[in-house]
Structure 1
Amino acid sequence: STHDLTAARTHGIIEALTSADVMTFADKGYQGARGSLRIPFKRRRFRPKLSRRQKTVNRAHAKIRARGERAIATLKTWKILAKLRCCPRRATAIVQATLV
Structure 2
Amino acid sequence: MTASWIINEYLDPCTLPDNLADAFPPLVEPLVDIGYTPVLYCGHQIVNGTNYMLICKRVMLAPVFSTTLVKCIIHETLPVQGQRHYHILSMEELMNIR
TM-score class, shorter: under 0.3
Higher relative contact order (CA 8 A, sep 6+): 2
Q: Decide which structure has the larger Cα Rg and report it.
A: 1
TM-score, normalized by length of structure 2? 0.21
Higher strand share: 2
Higher helix share: 1
